[in-house]
Structure 1
Amino acid sequence: MKTQQQTPTARTLAILSSVPVIMVLGNSMLIPVLPAISRTLQVSPFQVSLLITLFSIPAAITIPLAGILSDRIGRKKVIAVGLLLYGAGGLLAGLASIWGDGSYIAILLSRILQGIGAAGTAPIAMVLTSDLYQQEKRSEALGIIEAANAMGKVLSPILGSILGLISWYAMFFLFPILTLPIILLLWYQIEESIHTQGLPLHQYKKNIKKIFRVHGRWLFISFASGSIVLFSLFGVLFYISDYLEKTFHLVGVGKGIYLSIPLLSLSAVSYWTGKQIGHSAFLTKRFIIGGLGVIALSLLLLPWFTKLYLLLSITALMGLGSGLVLPCLNTMITSAIGLQERGIITSLYGSVRFLGVALGPPIYGALISSPKLLFIGNATILLIAIFFSYHLIENPQHLRGKNGHSRLLLRKKRLYSP
């Protein structure tokens, strides 16, 4: 069922872009103050690392559920509730930090609540963006969403370092301060131009199975590629962070600025990529394969260079490759799936992306004693992804109809709305 289509404004995209920025702050902003939390609460490094892990894992698990709900009850409701839980978790963590001498268990439970809330934020904002924008404008808008996500990653450790000068728990109170205005703007300033009427559950399940039967091969490699790209990027950021501290004695805000270079590159190239594939869908597959190749090359070069400017140049190259791949995957996945199932499919993609970010640093940390072998192994995985992407990803013009439909599924009794 659909209502009259509106033309989204720049304000609409600005509001939607703020959602992934807020989500990214949930983890990255805490990283600079983790040592202070460990000292103050007298907990071990492993225990303090759970403040990150028990945010990420609940989010990754809950994202598919948020996707299903967004298909059934609407995108805005899910995003608004997600932001509300996210802000409430931050407020509770802040109160638990100042109550008495601080309660580690209460902060940990608050972080779990935040992670559950985060599941309904950025992945569903991507779905809503895809609903609101059509054809080439969709590619450009999703490129901006990806750029905003990267900019959030750039700003969060710097912002965390600055707030840490006030107190180790100051950032917890920032979450409700930021989320409440965004909820109000989302609710009153954005109208869902296309409204879904939830299919009967048996039909919904049937359509999901049909999607994976028809599109399963290229969806699988697309999901895997997105996860591998983010695994590689954040694994390398972990490696570079440790290397900068041990070799060049860079810490705090200064190190954060250096680490922001690949993320700035990712942000700028994501914006550019979104504009390019909006004008020429034929470039999509080329950008995916080329971007994966650039990341693989960067990984093969990285362990052989020790000078700071060369290391930072190679990480910027990784950001460039990631900026070529991610907006293309976002556009392909959201455009090829019909409106009534777009939430769950896009959310599954968001979940594997989240796992890639979460798994990169610990796996790199566990294997960093053999860096050359680690980087060669990671590059080999990317080369395998290139091979399967070349053979399994169809020409995007064959995946998208005029209004973003899957042409293959449209031939099956037109199950999907525009």
Structure 2
Amino acid sequence: MKTKPSDRVLFALSLVPLIMVLGNSMVIPVLPAIANEYDLSALDTGLLITLFSVPAGAIIPFAGFLSDRIGRKKVIIAALVLYGAGGLIAGGAALFFAQPYAWIVAGRIIQGIGAAGTSPIAMALIGDLYPPEHRGRAFGVIESANAFGKVLSPVLGSLLALIAWYALFFAFPLLIVPALWAIARWVKEAETEAPPPFAKYKQDAVNVFRKQGRWLFISFLLGATQMFFLFGMLFYLAEALDNYTSLSGPVRGLFLALPLLSLTVISAWVGNIIGQKVERMKTFLVSGTSLTAVICTILPFTAHPIAIIALLFAGGIGAGFVLPCLNALITSAVGKAERGIVTSLYSSVRFLGIAAGPAVFGALMGRPFLLFWGTSAFCLLLALLTARFIHRPAQIKSKHGHRRLLLKPLPLVHKDSG
């Protein structure tokens, strides 16, 4: 019988998504300073976000495949080192070169590649280490750490910019040190078994999507849409604060962070609830997605930053309902052998949502009804598809007396009970 790891293991793994999310969110407050320093266009500065997220989204499936074959811990440690190295390249270029933009972009791409092997693989590792009845709480903590990183990063980025706008890039390698130490010391992973031939691995992964592809596809869209809305709204709020206020950088960062507190708190609460009452997952998924739709319906009628912050705070509640449930469902959908690739594909889609959010919100800023009502309609469609195709999970006891998580009519837990 699989036993629950100690809390320090969960703490070590929770540092990974916290650090990873700083990669974009901490840079957003200093984008205007970078643009002014080097006379960059909006497209050029936007690429510093896009060229982090797109490589991460593209590399994540490969990182998942690699973790299935050589072990999760090895991939996470290597990815964190790469993530820190990218920060050193970007910061060093800004410090020593007169025209460092190309090198900063290169550093951001390297950071994105490193990010591909961090949070998604940590999520798969939790699926490996924790028995089904404890995964809900574990994923609630992980999603809360992710959200707390989003809360912390605008403030931290703004404070570091008081030293120099490029100081935040040097923060990345410093931040990974405690995470590397904690993971190397506390996280114990079972020896990786001899991996199956690639042809069999590929066939097993294809079979997962052939049998369970419909609800997995809907789940992927649910996660991507929440990331699209969240990062798009952060961009939208930053523009509103710039247009309607004259706040200093750190204060503006604090206002950007406030709406994300709800995501942090609700994610932890939902994780605890679904750990005890797994049948509530479907209710949370439908309710959270519907709440996002309602918020998007209201948003075109307000432009004041305080009203936007209040609505985005409510949006954090919706995301907090959805994201921990998706993490638990998707990591429990397959056995250990395919878990890395499936969770990595899910994380890849989430990263693409992050990359698309600011771009789409920026392009449609002048057409709020198209932007928000279109998003609202899509969320309502996803809520209906969730209600129809993601069947309510239930906990039953196996013949060995272990609780298993089922997604009727297809089992979420693979026959290897991993």
Task: Say whether the fold is shared (TM-score over 0.5).
Answer: yes
The question of 1:114 aligning with 2:114 is answered: no
Counterpart in 1 of 2:149?
152
Question: In the superposition, relative to structure 1, how do residues 399 and 55 fare at CA in structure 2: closer, same or farther (>3 Å)?
Answer: farther
- The correspondence of residues 216-227 of structure 1 with structure 2, limited to 5 A, is 216-227=213-224
> What is the CA deviation profile of residues 368-408 of structure 1, one whole-angstrom value per residue up to 9, with x for unaligned ones?
11212321111000011011111111222289973558897
Question: In the superposition, relative to structure 1, how do residues 302 and 251 fare at CA in structure 2: closer, same or farther (>3 Å)?
Answer: farther
Counterpart in 2 of 1:142?
139
State the shift of 1:193 in Å.
Answer: 4.7
Counterpart in 2 of 1:123?
120
Counterpart in 2 of 1:392?
389
Question: In the superposition, relative to structure 1, how do residues 411 and 64 fare at CA in structure 2: closer, same or farther (>3 Å)?
Answer: closer
Counterpart in 1 of 2:84?
87
Runs of 5+ unmatched residues, structure 1: none
Q: Are the equivalent residues in 1 in contact too, given 2:232–2:358 (CA < 8 A)?
A: yes
Write the distance in 2 (CA, Å) between the matches of 1:215 and 1:57: 26
Write the distance in 2 (CA, Å) between the matches of 1:164 and 1:400: 54
Q: Are the equivalent residues in 1 in contact too, given 2:258–2:313 (CA < 8 A)?
A: yes
The two structures have a TM-score, normalised by structure 1, of: 0.93
Counterpart in 2 of 1:270?
267
Write the distance in 2 (CA, Å) between the matches of 1:97 and 1:196: 45
Counterpart in 1 of 2:158?
161
Write the distance in 2 (CA, Å) between the matches of 1:54 and 1:357: 11
State the shift of 1:102 in Å.
Answer: 4.8
The alignment yields a C-alpha RMSD, in angstroms, of 2.3
Counterpart in 1 of 2:236?
239
The question of 1:184 aligning with 2:181 is answered: yes
- The correspondence of residues 6-405 of structure 1 with structure 2, limited to 5 A, is 7-193=4-190, 195-306=192-303, 308-397=305-394, 402-403=403-404
> What is the CA deviation profile of residues 10-45 of structure 1, one whole-angstrom value per residue up to 9, with x for unaligned ones?
211111111111111111211222222233334333
State the shift of 1:312 in Å.
Answer: 2.5
Q: Are the equivalent residues in 2 in contact too, given 1:234–1:361 (CA < 8 A)?
A: yes
> What is the CA deviation profile of residues 279-305 of structure 1, one whole-angstrom value per residue up to 9, with x for unaligned ones?
111100111001111111111122223
Question: In the superposition, relative to structure 1, how do residues 212 and 191 fare at CA in structure 2: closer, same or farther (>3 Å)?
Answer: same
> What is the CA deviation profile of residues 284-335 of structure 1, one whole-angstrom value per residue up to 9, with x for unaligned ones?
0111001111111111122223555443222111110110011111100001
- Which is worse superposed, 402-411 or 326-335? 402-411
Q: Are the equivalent residues in 1 in contact too, given 2:393–2:407 (CA < 8 A)?
A: no
Runs of 4 or more above 4 Å deviation:
193-196, 306-309, 398-401, 403-412
Question: In the superposition, relative to structure 1, how do residues 103 and 300 fare at CA in structure 2: closer, same or farther (>3 Å)?
Answer: same
Write the distance in 2 (CA, Å) between the matches of 1:366 and 1:400: 51
Question: In the superposition, relative to structure 1, how do residues 211 and 170 fare at CA in structure 2: closer, same or farther (>3 Å)?
Answer: same
Question: In the superposition, relative to structure 1, how do residues 240 and 386 fare at CA in structure 2: closer, same or farther (>3 Å)?
Answer: same
Write the distance in 2 (CA, Å) between the matches of 1:187 and 1:60: 26
SS in 2 for 1:336: coil
Write the distance in 1 (CA, Å) between the matches of 2:334 and 2:236: 37
State the shift of 1:224 in Å.
Answer: 0.6
Q: Are the equivalent residues in 1 in contact too, given 2:290–2:379 (CA < 8 A)?
A: yes
> What is the CA deviation profile of residues 68-97 of structure 1, one whole-angstrom value per residue up to 9, with x for unaligned ones?
011111100110010011111111222212
Q: Are the equivalent residues in 2 in contact too, given 1:143–1:272 (CA < 8 A)?
A: yes
- Which is worse superposed, 265-274 or 165-174? 165-174
Counterpart in 2 of 1:416?
416
Q: Which amino acid aligns with 2:32?
A: P
Q: Which amino acid aligns with 1:28?
A: S
Give % identity.
47
Q: Are the equivalent residues in 2 in contact too, given 1:139–1:278 (CA < 8 A)?
A: yes
Q: Are the equivalent residues in 1 in contact too, given 2:4–2:134 (CA < 8 A)?
A: no
The two structures have a TM-score, normalised by structure 2, of: 0.93
Write the distance in 2 (CA, Å) between the matches of 1:410 and 1:224: 21
- Which is worse superposed, 375-384 or 23-32? 23-32
Write the distance in 2 (CA, Å) between the matches of 1:288 and 1:55: 29
Q: Are the equivalent residues in 2 in contact too, given 1:335–1:400 (CA < 8 A)?
A: no
> What is the CA deviation profile of residues 224-276 of structure 1, one whole-angstrom value per residue up to 9, with x for unaligned ones?
11111111222222222212221234452222222222211011000000011
SS in 1 for 2:278: coil
Runs of 5+ unmatched residues, structure 2: none
SS in 2 for 1:282: helix
Q: Are the equivalent residues in 2 in contact too, given 1:71–1:196 (CA < 8 A)?
A: no
Question: In the superposition, relative to structure 1, how do residues 255 and 399 fare at CA in structure 2: closer, same or farther (>3 Å)?
Answer: farther
Question: In the superposition, relative to structure 1, how do residues 406 and 202 fare at CA in structure 2: closer, same or farther (>3 Å)?
Answer: farther
State the shift of 1:194 in Å.
Answer: 7.4
Write the distance in 1 (CA, Å) between the matches of 2:100 and 2:306: 43
- Alignment: residue pair count: 414
Write the distance in 2 (CA, Å) between the matches of 1:71 and 1:400: 28
- Which is worse superposed, 148-157 or 307-316? 307-316
Write the distance in 1 (CA, Å) between the matches of 2:282 and 2:258: 26
Q: Are the equivalent residues in 1 in contact too, given 2:18–2:145 (CA < 8 A)?
A: yes
Write the distance in 2 (CA, Å) between the matches of 1:194 and 1:294: 44
Write the distance in 2 (CA, Å) between the matches of 1:247 and 1:24: 27
Question: In the superposition, relative to structure 1, how do residues 250 and 136 fare at CA in structure 2: closer, same or farther (>3 Å)?
Answer: farther
